[in-house]
């Protein structure tokens, strides 16, 4: 690509043609103040804060965010003219800004506050009345104080360009200009929390976090999110023991700098409904009573005594980290039990080949894809940031998208091609329309929702998809376009360590069946909350539940062992791409709760089957040695293409999207008052919309 050379503040730099002066200055490490410019949004150049002097050009300051670098340009970012111009802009911005920093939640991390320190005047020359703007109702997540708004329009552009839900706009003009939503509609997007981050002032702030803390009082820990399977990089801000907010952390290949609303706002669920001490079900009364760890372990030892390996089973839920999965697997193996499964959504697919369950193209691969076929998935609800990437692929590169499965509002246009495996077969044979575009594409992508396997014929569907991927030529020398989009943070980790039925073992459905017919006598579950344990587990089975929330499964348990939530332990998670990431302990667990793998380690000793690791380091080394995919940190190891699935008759019934309520997909969300409020507000609105549409 052609480059241009220019001089900024007597420093020479060579940049690609089309780079703006602001970007070039940033490359040199020169700070140029700005409000409206955001590197992931289009450039409106309306705040005028980034003015610089360009020698030889017109004798006036130029907006550096919107002016492209030219060959031989001489730019000054700190000349007297620039300073004067920026001071003027700052004075204009502050004319209508309320200066209520002491009661503003943005205080301490506010762009306007910071830049006013550099360019502000120490008093106001403005004698007239300041304007006031009515606040807007944006739902239970975003608090608005519109008088603070400086009309940078970042929120308008974000809603339109990234979230794909153009519901914000700038209304009226001149002094009356204001940001508004239409029909007073709530900002109904799963990415709305990011509006809070991109707002450079305190106009849009977090409602749940309102007046809770100042940024400098918080302890910040960089961690990994578990609310979906993409493993967003997050920062957990804690005051005392309490998680007060969760913010995104930059990771270009995963979440860029956005996170979904569930990731951001479900944290209040970490304080409610927690299991903070062991419980044991009393034999006589049949009620769960508080117990000590020793009593709980003794009960387990008593019940497991004399059971054969085949009579014991293990399940792990959606939020479980790799360490405890491995520990449970090792423990079950010591007992000689082949019955274990991580697919507690009831999915049936062949876990033997990595290519068969990974998001092989990688999430960043969406940026290269030139045709995308979604099968049985609503990525907007299953992996919001994957959806945002698809949306951007269409917004910026006009990539065509096809859908086989349920129709839903995905925030971009797509062609609906049917809803079952039969329609997939038709698509494979078709030669016109989207099928032609897809077959001609250089980097076609198939994204399969994990929900398609949640039925009797799951393995046959898996086989059919493998065949279709080959026929559609999505596997090339340097490109694997076959992707499974998982929803559970634990799933790929569990599959990578083989927490699936061993030779002769029962799978999830088989285990539940076994508890009902008596062939499974004891069941150990870690955080398996996503099925109705009370009705599906047989009455006679002895159930041990280890987890952090008193949700579905805990109610059925005979012994409850309190564990840690994701913010309370150092843990390894693997996202849907197979990317190994490390979550860090940010807060301490409540009461008597313990780090999950240590519970298993302690229990194993009581049961006389001591696990061979005494520290997390030893356990991790054991994992790295046993499972080679964990050796590389933060880089998905490519899976080689192979045959998978088992041949069979795939049913013709339509695919069903598994996420029915985006806001309540796991135990933490269900315990969160914020998520419950969102569920009420947004879900009702969506239902009304659907009813109206019918």
> What residues line the site for another protein (CB under 8 A)?
160, 166-173, 176, 180-184
> Least separation, in Å, of the C-beta of 165 and another protein?
9
> Least separation, in Å, of the C-beta of 186 and another protein?
14
Using the minimum distance from each CB to another protein, give the nearer residue, 171 or 631.
171
- Provide long-range contacts, Cβ within 8 A and 24+ apart, for 134-139: 136/179, 136/180, 136/181, 136/184, 137/184, 137/186, 138/181, 138/186, 138/187, 138/192, 138/195, 138/204, 139/186, 139/187, 139/188, 139/192, 139/678, 139/681, 139/682
DSSP annotation string for 30-85 = -----SS--TTS-----S-TTEEEEETS-SS-EETTTSBP-TT-EEESSSHHHHHH
> Least separation, in Å, of the C-beta of 170 and another protein?
6
> Least separation, in Å, of the C-beta of 380 and another protein?
17
The DSSP output letter for 680 is I
In the numeric block, which tokens belong to residue 419?
Answer: 């809803």
> Least separation, in Å, of the C-beta of 202 and another protein?
23
Quick one: which of 394, 453, 481, 390 has its CA closest to 655?
A: 453
Report d(CA 37, CA 577) in Å as an integer. 32
Beta-bridge partners for 289: 280
Report d(CA 93, CA 201) in Å as an integer. 11
> Least separation, in Å, of the C-beta of 414 and another protein?
15
Using the minimum distance from each CB to another protein, give the nearer residue, 170 or 221.
170
Using the minimum distance from each CB to another protein, give the nearer residue, 19 or 181.
181
> Least separation, in Å, of the C-beta of 91 and another protein?
24
Using the minimum distance from each CB to another protein, give the nearer residue, 186 or 254.
186
> Least separation, in Å, of the C-beta of 259 and another protein?
25
Instruction: Determine how β-strand 444-449 pairs with β-strand 371-375.
Output: parallel
Do residues 159 and 186 make contact, with C-beta atoms less than 8 angstroms apart?
Answer: no
Instruction: Determine how β-strand 62-63 pairs with β-strand 142-144.
Output: unpaired
> Least separation, in Å, of the C-beta of 173 and another protein?
5
Report d(CA 556, CA 514) in Å as an integer. 16
Using the minimum distance from each CB to another protein, give the nearer residue, 153 or 206.
153
DSSP annotation string for 583-599 = E---SPPSTT---HHHH
> Least separation, in Å, of the C-beta of 169 and another protein?
4
The size of the chain, in residues, is: 694
Strand segments, DSSP code E, in 548-687 are 559-562, 571-574, 580-583
> Least separation, in Å, of the C-beta of 218 and another protein?
35
Sheet strands side by side (includes 482-485):
415-416, 400-404, 371-375, 444-449, 482-485
Report d(CA 450, CA 461) in Å as an integer. 11
Quick one: which of 363, 667, 310 has its CA closest to 515?
A: 310
In the numeric block, which tokens belong to residue 278?
Answer: 């062991």
Contacts of 630 (CB under 8 A, 6+ apart): 322, 496, 572, 574, 580, 623, 624
Using the minimum distance from each CB to another protein, give the nearer residue, 173 or 287.
173
* Helix 80-95 / helix 111-119 crossing angle, nearest 10 deg: 130
């Amino acid at each position: 690509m052609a480059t241009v050379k220019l001089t900024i503040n007597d420093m020479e730099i060579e940049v690609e043609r089309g780079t703006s002066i602001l970007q070039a200055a940033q490359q040199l490490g020169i700070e140029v103040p700005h409000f409206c410019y955001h590197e992931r949004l289009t450039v409106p150049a309306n705040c005028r804060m980034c003015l610089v002097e360009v020698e030889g050009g017109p004798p006036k300051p130029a907006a550096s965010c919107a002016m492209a670098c030219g060959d031989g340009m001489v730019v000054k970012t700190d000349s007297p003219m620039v300073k004067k111009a920026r001071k003027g802009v700052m004075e204009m911005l502050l004319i209508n800004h309320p200066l209520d920093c002491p009661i503003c939640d943005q205080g301490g991390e506010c762009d306007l506050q910071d830049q006013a320190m550099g360019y502000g005047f120490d008093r106001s020359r403005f004698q007239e009345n300041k304007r006031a703007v009515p606040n807007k109702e944006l739902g239970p997540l975003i608090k608005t104080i519109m008088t603070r708004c400086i009309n940078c329009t970042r929120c308008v552009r974000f809603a339109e360009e990234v979230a794909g839900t153009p519901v914000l706009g700038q209304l009226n003009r001149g002094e009356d200009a204001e940001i508004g939503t239409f029909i007073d509609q709530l900002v109904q997007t799963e990415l709305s929390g990011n509006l809070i981050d991109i707002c450079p002032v305190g106009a849009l702030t977090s409602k749940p976090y309102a007046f809770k803390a100042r940024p400098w009082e918080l302890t910040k820990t960089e961690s990994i999110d578990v609310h979906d399977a993409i493993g967003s990089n997050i920062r957990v801000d804690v005051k005392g023991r309490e998680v007060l907010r969760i913010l995104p952390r930059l990771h270009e290949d995963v979440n860029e700098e956005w996170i979904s609303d569930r990731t951001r706002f479900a944290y209040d669920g970490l304080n409610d409904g927690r299991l903070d001490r062991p419980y044991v079900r009393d034999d006589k009364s049949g009620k769960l009573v508080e117990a000590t760890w020793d009593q709980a372990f003794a009960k387990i030892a008593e019940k497991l005594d004399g059971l054969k390996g085949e009579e014991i089973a293990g399940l792990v839920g959606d939020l479980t980290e790799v360490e405890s999965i491995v520990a449970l697997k090792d423990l079950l193996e010591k007992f000689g039990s082949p019955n274990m499964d991580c697919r507690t959504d009831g999915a049936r697919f062949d876990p033997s080949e990595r290519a068969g369950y990974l998001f092989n193209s990688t999430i960043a691969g969406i940026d290269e894809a030139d045709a995308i076929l979604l099968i049985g998935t609503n990525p907007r609800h299953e992996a919001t940031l994957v959806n945002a990437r698809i949306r951007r692929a269409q917004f910026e590169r006009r990539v065509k998208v096809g859908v086989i499965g349920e129709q839903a509002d995905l925030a971009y246009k797509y062609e609906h091609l049917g809803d079952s495996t039969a329609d997939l077969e038709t698509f494979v044979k078709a030669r016109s329309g989207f099928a032609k575009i897809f077959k001609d594409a250089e980097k076609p992508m198939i994204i399969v929702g994990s929900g398609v396997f949640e039925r009797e014929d799951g393995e046959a569907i898996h086989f059919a998809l493998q065949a279709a991927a080959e026929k559609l030529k999505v596997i090339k020398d340097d490109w694997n376009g076959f992707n499974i989009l998982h929803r559970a943070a634990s799933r790929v980790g569990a599959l990578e360590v083989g927490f699936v039925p061993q030779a002769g073992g029962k799978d999830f459905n088989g285990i539940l069946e076994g508890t009902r017919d008596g062939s499974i006598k004891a069941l150990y579950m870690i955080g398996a909350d996503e099925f109705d344990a009370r009705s599906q587990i047989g009455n006679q089975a002895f159930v041990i539940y280890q987890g952090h929330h008193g949700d579905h499964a805990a109610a059925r348990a005979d012994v409850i062992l309190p564990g840690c939530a994701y913010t309370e332990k150092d843990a390894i998670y693997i996202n849907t791409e197979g990317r190994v990431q490390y979550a860090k302990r940010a807060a301490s667990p409540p009461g008597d709760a313990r780090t999950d793998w240590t519970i298993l380690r302690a229990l194993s000793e009581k049961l006389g089957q001591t696990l061979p690791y005494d520290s997390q380091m030893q356990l991790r080394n054991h994992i790295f040695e046993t499972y080679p995919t964990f050796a590389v940190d933060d880089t998905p190891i490519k899976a080689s293409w192979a045959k998978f699935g088992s041949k069979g008759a795939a049913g013709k019934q339509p695919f069903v999207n598994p996420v029915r309520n985006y806001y309540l997909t796991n135990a933490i969300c269900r315990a969160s008052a914020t998520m419950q409020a969102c569920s009420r507000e947004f879900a009702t609105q969506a239902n009304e919309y659907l009813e109206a549409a019918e």
